[in-house]
C-alpha cells in the first residue's frame, strides 16, 4: 500500500473519532449557529478529503524520501524518550538539574564524543539561559530542589 493510502486510512479514523465527539457537543438552542456546527462540518470535510486522498493520491511510491533504518528509528525513539523523561522530571528536579544531563546525554547518544566540549556547552547553555530567564527576563524556569 502506498504512503498516501496509509495516511488516508489514518485520517479516516481521525475524522471519524472527531465526528463522534463533535456530535456529542452539547447544543445551545438560542444560537443562530451552534458551537457544534463547524466541528461537524469540518469532520465530514476531512472524511471526504481522506477518501479522496485514498483514491486520487500517488499511485506509485516516490523514491525521494529516504528509508530510515531500524537503527535510526531506535535513535529517534531514544531522543524522544529522553525528551519525555526531561519533561517528566523538569518541575520536580528543576531546570538546572535536568537540562545539564539532558544535553550531555542526548549529544552523546547522537554520537558526539568530545566530552570537554559537551560538558562546557551543557553547563554554559544551562547556566546562561537560567540566569537570563530568571534574573533578566523574570520568566521563572523551575527551580526544583536547588536553593537558587
Partner 1 sequence: METLESLLYGFQVAFTPENLIFVLIGVLAGTVIGMLPGLGPISAIAIMIPMSYGMSPASALIMMAGVYYGAIFGGSTSSILLNAPGVAGTVATSFDGYPMAQQGKAGKALAIAAICSFIGGTVGVVALILVAPGLAQVAVSFGPPEYFALMLLGLTAIASLADGSTIKAFIAAVVGLMLATIGIDQQTGTQRFTFGTPELMEGIDFLIIALGVFALAEVGFMIINRKESLFSSWKEVGSLKLTKQDIKELAGPTGRQSIMGFFLGVLPGAGATIASFLAYITEKRIAKDPSQFGKGSVKGVAAPETANNAACTGSFVPLLTLGIPGSGTTAVLLGALLVYGIQPGPLMMNEHPDIFWGVITSMYVGNMILLILNLPLIPYIARALLIPRPLLISLVILFCMIGVYGVSFATFDLYLLIIFGVVGFLMRRFRFPAAPLILAFILGSMMEQSLRQSLTLSGGDWGIFLERPITLLLLGFTALSLIWPLLKQWIAARKRNGNVAA
Binding-site ranges for partner 1 (CB under 8 A) = 3-4, 6-7, 11, 18, 21, 25-26, 28, 31-36, 38-39, 42-43, 45-46, 49-50, 52-53, 56-58, 65-66, 68, 72, 75-76, 79-80, 83-84, 86-88, 90-91, 99, 102-103, 106-112, 114, 117-118, 121, 125, 129, 133, 136-142
Q: CA–CA separation, 73 vs 78, rounded Å?
A: 8
Q: CA–CA separation, 73 vs 67, rounded Å?
A: 10
Q: Do residues 80 and 45 lie in contact, with contact meaning Cβ atoms separated by under 8 Å?
A: no
Q: Which is nearer to partner 1, 84 or 145 (CB)?
A: 84
CB of 60 to partner 1, least distance (A): 13
Q: CA–CA separation, 79 vs 73, rounded Å?
A: 10
Amino acid at each position: 500500500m502506498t504512503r498516501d493510502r496509509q495516511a488516508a486510512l489514518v485520517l479516516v479514523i481521525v475524522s471519524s473519532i472527531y465526528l463522534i465527539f463533535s456530535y456529542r457537543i452539547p447544543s445551545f438552542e438560542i444560537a443562530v449557529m451552534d458551537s457544534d456546527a463547524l466541528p461537524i462540518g469540518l469532520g465530514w470535510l476531512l472524511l471526504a478529503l481522506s477518501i479522496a486522498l485514498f483514491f486520487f493520491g500517488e499511485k506509485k511510491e516516490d523514491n525521494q524520501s529516504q528509508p530510515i533504518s531500524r537503527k535510526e528509528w531506535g535513535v529517534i525513539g531514544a531522543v524522544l524518550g529522553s525528551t519525555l523523561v526531561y519533561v517528566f522530571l523538569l518541575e520536580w528536579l528543576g531546570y538546572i538539574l535536568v537540562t545539564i544531563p539532558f544535553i550531555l546525554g542526548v549529544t552523546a547518544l547522537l554520537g558526539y564524543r568530545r566530552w570537554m566540549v559537551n560538558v562546557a556547552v551543557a553547563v554554559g547553555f544551562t547556566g546562561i539561559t537560567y540566569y537570563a530567564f530568571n534574573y533578566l527576563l523574570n520568566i521563572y524556569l523551575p527551580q526544583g530542589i536547588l536553593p537558587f
